[in-house]
């Protein structure tokens, strides 16, 4: 098994996307990059701890590669808006890749460079490519949020469209095809 850590806005959204993928055994919401030990969600929302909302993904690289995870990550959030995803605004929503080794760093940097050069997005990617940092698991009520609250407004209007995009673009990669 291998680990990937991505911050793509609200971790409820990214968790729902990556949890659906074949080869992914665990997705945990949490926080990375800050200066406060054992941060709480309320502290993170104060926007002064330096943490980014992230997910930690445990995956089987023989089933799904890191490069495919990167492709899905960049396709299911906006990597061009600093400190923001839609109506979620603040430094805790920064797009980020916390690489686990030099191979992941090289892959993430190459992915960003390739897509910036291609003009896929109208402005440059602002995703931070950062070294691995302490991962703090989020409070239990954040885990499986979309699965546990599918009728909640945020889930219907923000998360469900991301999951639909995943199905449309990467349907062959889903656990329950």
Per-residue pLDDT tens over the stretch 158-174: 999 999 999 999 999 99
Query: Which of 38, 122, 16 has its CA nearest to residue 78?
Result: 122
As a whole number of angstroms, the distance between CA 94 and CA 132 comes to 16
- The topology (CATH level 3) of 2-171 is 3.30.1060
pTM reported for the whole predicted model: 0.94
Clarify whether 10 is annotated catalytic.
Answer: yes
pLDDT digits (tens, 9 = 90+) for 25-58: 999 999 999 999 999 999 999 988 999 999 999 9
Neighbours of 34 (CB within 10 A): 19
Candidate list 10, 13, 32, 155, residue with the active-site label = 10
């Amino acid at each position: 098994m291998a680990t990937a850590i991505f911050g793509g806005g609200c971790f409820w959204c990214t968790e729902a996307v990556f949890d659906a993928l074949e080869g992914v055994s665990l997705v945990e919401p949490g926080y990375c990059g800050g200066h406060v030990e054992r941060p709480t969600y309320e502290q993170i929302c104060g926007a002064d701890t330096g943490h980014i909302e992230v997910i930690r993904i445990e995956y089987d690289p023989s089933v799904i590669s890191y490069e495919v995870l990167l492709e899905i990550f960049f396709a299911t959030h906006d990597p061009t808006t600093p400190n923001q995803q839609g109506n979620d605004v603040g430094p805790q929503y920064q797009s980020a890749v916390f690489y686990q080794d030099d191979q992941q760093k090289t892959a993430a940097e190459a992915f960003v460079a390739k897509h910036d050069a291609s003009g896929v997005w109208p402005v440059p990617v602002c995703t931070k490519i950062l070294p691995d940092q302490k991962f703090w698991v989020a409070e239990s009520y954040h885990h499986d949020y979309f699965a546990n609250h599918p009728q909640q407004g945020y889930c219907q209007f923000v998360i469900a469209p991301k999951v639909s995009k995943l199905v449309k673009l990467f349907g062959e990669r889903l656990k329950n095809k």
